[in-house]
Structure 1
């Protein structure tokens, strides 16, 4: 229908007897200014100020040519008319009108291109042909967005050396859950151990007294041997299945590790994948899903952690929490005991946290919208109602509240359709958050002080460092004209991050070194939950960026070379650089870039404390080898290191040749840079050709992996 037909139709409808008072309503364009029209004065229609308005010395003469806006007398005849308001209405109406034509739609589309991060994404294809799109904050996007040569080489080598998870042999007949359960007393010990663990102290999603009675209810024991479970007592109450699932998840955390019996694994999988409905929406279901996610973080065998392993669980958890009203506990659960309310708050507490964390890992906004976020619930309701120390509990609540406020704001900014150059401001906000909410950073980067740190702090700090390093890397990739202080800050936070990861692993391993050998040490499980997203992010981003700089764009000589023997003496490192100092505070030099070589040397020194050949590390890697997530992440680092070392050798060999030619590498022209790049790459391809024939078992044996 064109405009003429619309106008005709409207006029005919308006001419009915019922609307006779509108019959004479004027529809033509108004040419007089608003003041003259309201006062019924003859307007000279002179722009920008008509004669009548000029005589009266009005601040502005208002023309509304296309629409007859109802400007009130109060506004119009006041000493200072609200000109800005009328003009705002005019501009908004013009924008709305423009959206009705193709030109308007095109302008809106172009406006949405203002945020380059909306297109900073990458797709990853699975072996079965599946595809997953990762957004700008995923470490996979940061590693794979530019199809650089390092990633191609690494993916090829990783395909050869990637450690494969162990799977239970399929059985012709699935054994019943009852037949493979441990004894009743062993289950009691596992449950009691869970409730006395640091992990439970962090989560506190159960009322501690509610779970032990479930053992008597769910497990029917033999009359002659009360330690032998002979039957599962699952009534028609659907909550029984979720209660059983909770007990089995605790067994997976405390009793089993890699060797979860297939029947238990199938029961948990079926219960997890069952869709939510009004018939299965229980608090027990939320507790089960949360424990399932924790187990996925620790025991997943679906590749190196990238967030996809648990995102479906988190989506389901978020949906169920909202449908159960956990965003307003005081309203919907007002009659429940204080202990129950505290458990519900903790469930909501961790749902919001993992929603932010997992969504950030895959590069998308959180599932739960701001409309369901009431940060007042993080005010401690009754400090005396829980066994948590009265000093620690308020501190944790405040830290979580502040983290959610800052992190959700930052994610919103990153995913807006339109945004300005905000990454430096976001980095500053996160840096200030760390400085104002945590102990001195040296307490996390120096193992001497680590025992004083609350694991809850590490959980939050690791996610903040994930954000800082990823946003910093994004800024380096798409930004221009970086300041010296900005690049040095990125070096600082990268080294801080790897220090936190290494100290967390070593401290928690040594703390739990007296655990049984047939399960993963309790401390390593905790470490995985605390730092899993940060460790793989730092390893992947550091080696990818370092390889790129080493083989391509790092000007100048990187090595001290003895030309008589042709041997490398060492990386060139500025004498005045003190990398230990930047791990004790937040100040960095602004007059000179921290050297690439010095950064790599310090990174090596930190990460190699895990791989140094000593008795502690041998025990450590025997324990690590029981966890596929830790094994695959640390193996990822070793494979990256091998490839990087080959690139280092190629750079060294090329520098020797160019040094003998007497070429000043500090003054490369663009043409010389390209020639140098080609020489380095040719040398690398020649030097690295032996990597593809490495024996996987021997490769990992040298690092004490039990693979």
Structure 2
């Protein structure tokens, strides 16, 4: 899988027999292995440059004459020697006290430099027409050299567990650093970035190109539909003629319009799902804080304008700010007034002792919901983590992790918020903590030292009971995955999670069948979607840790990713059907935004569809480019039927490569059937759906190019007629080089095509 084997070269560095004298070799590893004349140009020799290889690596600094097996094994001696050299340099400048942190992060794992996971990429060289994705940079964050667009680095070595830390947890060695618009983002083992790294350097390089292509199309969409809610730093640089509150007042709708939309919110499925606000309190805050003026003399203006904003009972502006977020959910949706964003940005960062109040927690929690509701998931992962960190810190400062019933028994202390609402707020804060920590690849913000998880389990069959029981097993799983002391037994985690699903949910077929999902409580989906994502990720982590991927591991990963995708598609279709029955005038009229239940599906699914889409294509692409023994895609034997009515994972035979791809395409294409035309028009109003559909279509086109070139090479070499004993390393490397050359040509042609020729059949214009 492109990850260093655990034990092989520990025994082979020095053989027991006669030792030959090593001489200095100046040719690059690629030319040496293929016995080509190397012109020894650096950073890339003529042979590697002519073949458009992504990297060219020299070993003269190590003074070793390496064999073909050593050069291209799962853990080449080159990697070991480089690792030793870098660790020696780190240890020379590091104290014993901080070695635990430095040793893991100092030396990034280098993915494949020749399209073959396991070979070594050189530092600083670039692929033809692209950037050096995944190449080694400096040995500390302070010396990191990032690509202007996106550079991803990963630290991982099975043999590098720090001796001063006991056995250690190997998962903690998975780290990615990503340059996002000039800022550095660190992500860990459970993040989407880590799963992408496991699929090879070439996949990341091309995924970045694909993602940029998708972003360009989404920018075109924004011109038509308007900008979704976002924190834009440029807003803070724009001049103000008055105070922020004056600007907010000028942008507010009339008093009656605000009141109507507050009432609409408390009747919506969104409030029914969360229950983190009290209607009576919010309406009272609105009446107190939003001061209306006189009726205008202009007959074209209906209703009293707002002329002043006052603080709430707690003397802060958080109470009226909560009303503003509700308006963003129900009234503005897109094209949020810049004054709103200015005030929200200020309130997120403003903290003083007098701002430590329940309303601040509600404000931050509602902002988190707003961002999820608008599909701010992967792109703003770091921003979401910062928001939830702020939310958790405020909740802890208020003692919400303690005995709320006794602590907030005084009516005056809770300011009109019911005890039941405080409990609900706390559980959703824990939920947000699990989600953003899982997506970012970090340990939980609210750790076991601050909160006793044994208070969570309960026998209640209510929504709150399901949420609490989910939080118990999800937090336990996260604690185990990020335990500093030892690598987790992931097979046990998977067993516990699947048992939980079988106990607390209907049979899985109810969530993968568009007819049966009408019988399901939508609340279940917000929990189940995250559970399926966590199980799939556990299999992915096993895939990265294992030297040899087991059949059950590969099948389990595929099964749960496909289940996630099926759940997503079925949920969207089911929610649209609910809107069609309840809000037919909005469906078939010129309704500018997502209809209520369809919009709710964005929140219910969270990052699961984006994660599943990326992880599955990463695995498929990896298998196409790997040329491993026994995998023949031109004939493709295996299990073709992916049964989505059960959680059972077969372990006797691999799922068919083409069968998996065809199943995935058929599930996604359910949303593009002629009978779903009206749904497609509604989904086009959401940037998260447009982005997901565009990404899927571009990925599909790219993958089909890879599959086609792989198949052509296999047929040309008559690989299907060869037995396992005929698959020599030399043959596979030669075929891989040939396939990579052909693929690179086809990929460049694909990227030069007009997007309309391949991008999507999805509705991209409003008629």
| Aligned counterparts, 1:424-439, within 5 A | 424-439=491-506
Q: 1:132 aligns with which of 174, 181, 185?
A: 185
Residues 660 and 300 of structure 1: CA distance in aligned 2, closer, same or farther (over 3 Å): closer
Q: 1:334 aligns with which of 396, 402, 409?
A: 409
Q: Does 1:462 find its partner at 2:529?
A: yes
Q: Matched residues in 2 for 1:281 and 1:697: separation?
A: 52
Counterpart of 2:617? Answer: 543
Q: Matched residues in 2 for 1:234 and 1:367: separation?
A: 34
For the Cα contact (< 8 Å) 1:653–1:683, is it kept in 2? no
Counterpart of 1:508? Answer: 575
Q: Does 1:453 find its partner at 2:520?
A: yes
Q: Matched residues in 2 for 1:370 and 1:660: separation?
A: 54
> Secondary structure, in 3 states, of the residue corresponding to 1:279?
helix
Q: 2:170 aligns with which of 116, 119, 135?
A: 116
Counterpart of 1:578? Answer: 641
Q: Matched residues in 1 for 2:540 and 2:516: separation?
A: 29
Q: Does 1:521 find its partner at 2:605?
A: no
Q: Does 1:402 find its partner at 2:463?
A: no
| Aligned counterparts, 1:244-393, within 5 A | 244-275=320-351, 277-299=352-374, 304-305=378-379, 307-327=381-401, 328-336=403-411, 340-374=418-452
Q: Matched residues in 2 for 1:119 and 1:251: separation?
A: 44
TM norm structure 2: 0.70
Residues 299 and 586 of structure 1: CA distance in aligned 2, closer, same or farther (over 3 Å): closer
For the Cα contact (< 8 Å) 1:306–1:533, is it kept in 2? no
Q: Does 1:160 find its partner at 2:213?
A: yes
For the Cα contact (< 8 Å) 1:243–1:284, is it kept in 2? yes
For the Cα contact (< 8 Å) 1:520–1:626, is it kept in 2? yes
Q: Matched residues in 1 for 2:595 and 2:328: separation?
A: 13
Q: Matched residues in 1 for 2:550 and 2:466: separation?
A: 31
Q: Does 1:614 find its partner at 2:674?
A: yes
Cα offset, 1:235, TM superposition? 4.1
Q: 1:659 aligns with which of 709, 715, 718?
A: 718
Q: Matched residues in 1 for 2:260 and 2:306: separation?
A: 19
Q: Matched residues in 1 for 2:501 and 2:725: separation?
A: 38
For the Cα contact (< 8 Å) 1:484–1:591, is it kept in 2? yes
Cα offset, 1:357, TM superposition? 1.1
For the Cα contact (< 8 Å) 1:304–1:632, is it kept in 2? no
Residues 474 and 189 of structure 1: CA distance in aligned 2, closer, same or farther (over 3 Å): same
CA RMSD of aligned residues (A): 3.1
Counterpart of 1:605? Answer: 666
Deviations along 1:124-170, one digit per CA (max 9) or x if unpaired, are 01222x11110000011111356421221221232233223557698
More helix per residue: 1 or 2? 1
Cα offset, 1:109, TM superposition? 3.5
Ranked by relative contact order (alpha carbons within 8 Å, sequence separation 6 or more), the top structure is 1
Residues 325 and 182 of structure 1: CA distance in aligned 2, closer, same or farther (over 3 Å): same
- Count the aligned residue pairs: 577
Give the unaligned 5+ runs of structure 2.
1-94, 104-160, 228-233, 297-301
Q: 1:224 aligns with which of 291, 295, 315?
A: 295
Q: Which moved more, 1:222-231 or 1:471-480?
A: 222-231
For the Cα contact (< 8 Å) 2:437–2:444, is it kept in 1? yes
> Secondary structure, in 3 states, of the residue corresponding to 1:308?
helix
Q: Matched residues in 1 for 2:682 and 2:539: separation?
A: 34
Residues 556 and 242 of structure 1: CA distance in aligned 2, closer, same or farther (over 3 Å): closer
For the Cα contact (< 8 Å) 1:297–1:528, is it kept in 2? yes
TM norm structure 1: 0.75
Cα offset, 1:253, TM superposition? 0.7
Cα offset, 1:545, TM superposition? 0.8
Residues 451 and 689 of structure 1: CA distance in aligned 2, closer, same or farther (over 3 Å): same
Residues 545 and 661 of structure 1: CA distance in aligned 2, closer, same or farther (over 3 Å): closer
Deviations along 1:553-573, one digit per CA (max 9) or x if unpaired, are 35443235xxxxxxxxxxx46
Q: Matched residues in 1 for 2:632 and 2:96: separation?
A: 59
Cα offset, 1:110, TM superposition? 4.4
Counterpart of 2:155? Answer: none
Residues 236 and 641 of structure 1: CA distance in aligned 2, closer, same or farther (over 3 Å): closer
Deviations along 1:572-594, one digit per CA (max 9) or x if unpaired, are 465x7432xx2111233333222
Cα offset, 1:330, TM superposition? 1.7
Residues 146 and 559 of structure 1: CA distance in aligned 2, closer, same or farther (over 3 Å): closer
Counterpart of 2:743? Answer: 684
> Secondary structure, in 3 states, of the residue corresponding to 1:512?
helix
Q: Matched residues in 2 for 1:179 and 1:254: separation?
A: 19
Deviations along 1:165-213, one digit per CA (max 9) or x if unpaired, are 5576988767832333223222222111211112111211122221222
Q: Does 1:143 find its partner at 2:196?
A: yes
For the Cα contact (< 8 Å) 2:295–2:305, is it kept in 1? no
Cα offset, 1:362, TM superposition? 0.2
Residues 660 and 332 of structure 1: CA distance in aligned 2, closer, same or farther (over 3 Å): closer
Deviations along 1:657-706, one digit per CA (max 9) or x if unpaired, are 12399655884222221122112212211222222223346655642234
Deviations along 1:470-529, one digit per CA (max 9) or x if unpaired, are 111111122134443333222221221111111111211232243371222222321111
Counterpart of 2:608? Answer: 534
Counterpart of 1:176? Answer: 247
Residues 333 and 556 of structure 1: CA distance in aligned 2, closer, same or farther (over 3 Å): closer
Cα offset, 1:378, TM superposition? 5.3
